[in-house]
Amino acid sequence: MKSKRTFQVALLLLIGSISISAQNRLIIEADRGQNTINRHIYGHFSEHLGRCIYGGYWVGEDSSVPNTRGIRNDVVQALKDIRIPNLRWPGGCFADEYHWMDGIGPREDRPKMINTHWGGVVEDNSFGTHEFLDLCEQLDAEPYISGNVGSGTVEEMSKWIEYITFDGESPMANLRRKNGREEPWKVKFWGVGNESWGCGGNMTPDYYSDLYRHYATYCRNYGDNRLYRIACGANGGDYNWTETVMKNAARHMQGLSLHYYTVPRNWGDKGSATNFDEKEYFTTIEKTLFMDELITKHSAIMDRYDPQKRVGMIIDEWGTWYNVEPGTNPGFLYQQNTLRDAIVAGINLNIFNNHSERVQMANLAQTVNVLQAVILTDEEKMILTPTYWVFHLYKVHQDATLLPISFTSNKYRQGDKEIDAVSVSASKNAGGKIHITLVNADPNNEQRISTQLVGASAKKVSGKMLTSAKINDYNSFEQPSKVTVSDFKGASLSNSGLSVVLPPKSVVLIELQ
């Protein structure tokens, strides 16, 4: 039966390849889905960095900005609207210099420190464990805490878990009660160190994997709270790191992280967030497509030590990284967010969806006012970036069933280089609706796509779209809705299937019923 279906799909692709009208050919096997797209793929990351926490989320109870217990109402509502499933905190590099007991108890008594990683500013610890977990409860999102391995101790991390999750009689549980929280919190996701190969300690993979096993032993489950322990994984294409950590510690972990940032130029001069030409745009897309190769190769290594795929790949830092906006603190990593970033986000989310057998979580860096943020704030003002609207479109994939696809794409060419013009993923939700997300990375040409549904039929099609006049268009506080979602009318159903015309430089969601 399987070989017959394979032959049918191959035949459809062959027919499409010789059809003049079918520039791009998509086949969706609507009755063959097996893997669930974990909603946690649509997670976010917020570090004590620049104006992400302070001014982004936290304004304090006495602020004129409408807030609930010091947390901005507008930011919370915007994130709830995209169904944020989890939030990673407190870093990032900051996590490995953060000592959690500095951030509990009366705020006026909390010690101040210098944020040595990010801008050299004073960190007053007014936003700590209680405030973060309050934020997650307001968001209806699961917390993901990164513990301090770099400058912390096993005892410190073990006590933090006990403080948060233990419901019995102990010094840490009683301290939590003294600080105003009677019942323990539920915290599932726990990172054991961050970027231990770099800012988290400059460790070797052998040393870190031994250290991980030591720390993970004391990351205990209390009551019915079950930790999902996430080990520090590789920086980009460091496959030796994955090999070593999986070989030495796979059975002690539930997740292994991967970090990869899309940098158009180089780390010394990353390029402007808004002032770029098509050549640099092409390079940006080419580099972001490397994510697919990274996941494929790291997954192959993980498969050797974990063929049952028990250990999830956790891509807990990803996104674009440019030079900071002129006139801003270089350590605050504040950058604008254009339609180019939306294209990058759509491509990466499609990649994560299509690798959902192994990828169980991803966290965009960073949620508010830092790097590829979905929200920018200025005092009481707030705007939603083009990347925000991609997450708005793609939220339909959360916990849906990934549908197998076969796809042949036109090429987008720049000089003597070429990449696929179109990126795609598809899913079916519990109600039977099929959702297809498509990205046309070509800024100059529309893309016509002929789609065949196998194992299902559709009677109704609708869609939403994100595009703009220029690839470097962005939303500003003066023009907050320059790049936003609109209705998409370029999809039609016929006896031969679904036909789609994607505008240049666009992200499109199609719903079939």
Point out which residues pair with 375 in neighbouring strands: 368, 384
Under DSSP, the state recorded for 58 is B
C-beta of residue 386 within 8 angstroms of C-beta of residue 466: yes
Q: Bin 196: left if φ > 0, else alpha if -120 < ψ < 50, else beta.
A: alpha
Under DSSP, the state recorded for 268 is S
Q: Bin 248: left if φ > 0, else alpha if -120 < ψ < 50, else beta.
A: alpha
Q: How far apart are CA 473 and CA 454, in angstroms?
A: 38
Q: Is the peptide bond before 200 cis (omega within 30 degrees of 0)?
A: no
CA within 13 Å, CB half, 249? 27
* Active-site annotation holds for 108: no
* Active-site annotation holds for 317: yes
Active-site residue (options: 195, 286, 357, 418) = 195
Active-site residue (options: 317, 357, 380, 478) = 317
Under DSSP, the state recorded for 400 is P
- Residue 308 CB partners (closer than 8 Å, separation 6+): none
Q: How far apart are CA 133 and CA 190, in angstroms?
A: 13
Within 10 A of 144 (CB to CB), how many other CB atoms are there?
27
Under DSSP, the state recorded for 466 is E
Within 10 A of 477 (CB to CB), how many other CB atoms are there?
12
Q: How far is CA 391 from CA 44, 75, 363, in A?
A: 11, 15, 12
Q: Catalytic residue numbers?
A: 195, 317
